[in-house]
Amino acid sequence: MKRNIFLRTIIASGALIMRPIDSLAKSYLKARLKTGFKINSGNDRFQKPIILFEGDTFYTKVSTSDTDGDLYVYESTRVKQGGPNLHLHYEQDEWWYILEGEFIIKVGDDTFKVKPGDSVFGPRGVPHAFSKMGESGVGRMLTTFQPAGKMEECFIALSEGKMKGKSDAEQDEFRKQHGFERVGPPITTFKKF
């Protein structure tokens, strides 16, 4: 008799514990996009490219909101030589696929010269940077963050000028709030390969 009461109590407790998990799973499935979509060449997902600096434009291809934060993909078009500071992401892996031009991509202790058709993977927690080589011509790359984190939000804020005129300390805090930190300077010297 006591064993039956014990078993019923365990089963009832399990059902109570599983209810929030089931509810969470259902809300997760509702938040994800349930239809496919097409982005035409040279277009942005929302018809509003993110312009970070003169000649540096991001065209969102898969938004953070499309995947409930699982993935963010954008095409970066760069006119000027250069790229971001050496930095690391706390929780995002990053992947670059070169569409046009040549780039230098540094991941940890490895430095790669890449051209159209090449790709490079940068694991989370490993310092990395990239730089478009040369002043002439356009450089284009497809960049993926997985999970998306707050990178799309970060780029939008930067394009709206929210960090313009801010101190280095304020910029570093902004980066940390968006899941990454600066750990060194940008790539400025190009080795002979």
DSSP 118-160: -EEEE-TTS-EEEEE-SSSS-EEEEEEEES-TTHHHHHHHHHT
Structure tokens at 144: 């993926």
Q: Once rounded to an integer, what is the mean pLDDT over residues 33-55?
A: 90
* CATH code reported for the domain at 50-184: 2.60.120.10
Residue 68 has pLDDT above 50, yes or no: yes
Q: Is the pLDDT of residue 116 over 60?
A: yes
How large is the average pLDDT for residues 159-172? Answer: 94
On the question of pLDDT at 32 being above 50, the answer is yes
Strands (E) in the chain, as ranges, are 50-53, 56-62, 72-78, 85-89, 93-100, 103-107, 110-114, 119-122, 128-132, 139-146, 180-186
On the question of pLDDT at 169 being above 60, the answer is yes
Tokens of 180: 């990454």
CA separation for the pair 26, 20 (Å, rounded): 10
Q: Which of the four pLDDT bands, split at 50, 70 and 90, describes residue 38?
A: very high
User: What pLDDT is stored for residue 13 in this prediction?
Assistant: 57
Taking Cα atoms as reference points, which of 80, 91, 176 lies closest to residue 136?
A: 80
| Rounded Cα–Cα distance for residues 37 and 108 (Å) | 36
Cα 67 to Cα 95: distance, rounded to the nearest angstrom:
17
Higher pLDDT, 162 or 19: 162
Average pLDDT over residues 122-126: 98
Position 58, amino acid? F
Regarding predicted confidence, which is higher, 122 or 23?
122
Phi and psi torsions of 151, nearest 5°: -70, -45
Among 8-22, 118-132, 160-174, the minimum mean pLDDT is found in: 8-22
**How many residues are present in the chain?**
193
Do the beta carbons of residue 179 and residue 90 sit within 8 Å?
yes
Two structure tokens written together for 151: 């990178």
Least confident of 19-33, 141-155, 177-191: 19-33
User: Which pLDDT does position 20 carry in this prediction?
Assistant: 54
Dihedrals φ, ψ of 23, to 5°?
A: -65, -45
pLDDT in tens, 4-24: 665 565 555 555 555 555 444
Provide the residue ranges of all domains of the chain, joining segments of one domain with +: 50-184
**Structure-model confidence comparison of residues 24 and 42, the more confident one:** 42
Residue in this structure with the two tokens 């569409």, named with its chain if needed:
99
Among 25-34, 45-54, 96-105, the minimum mean pLDDT is found in 25-34
User: For a pLDDT cut of 70, what percent of the chain falls above it?
Assistant: 81
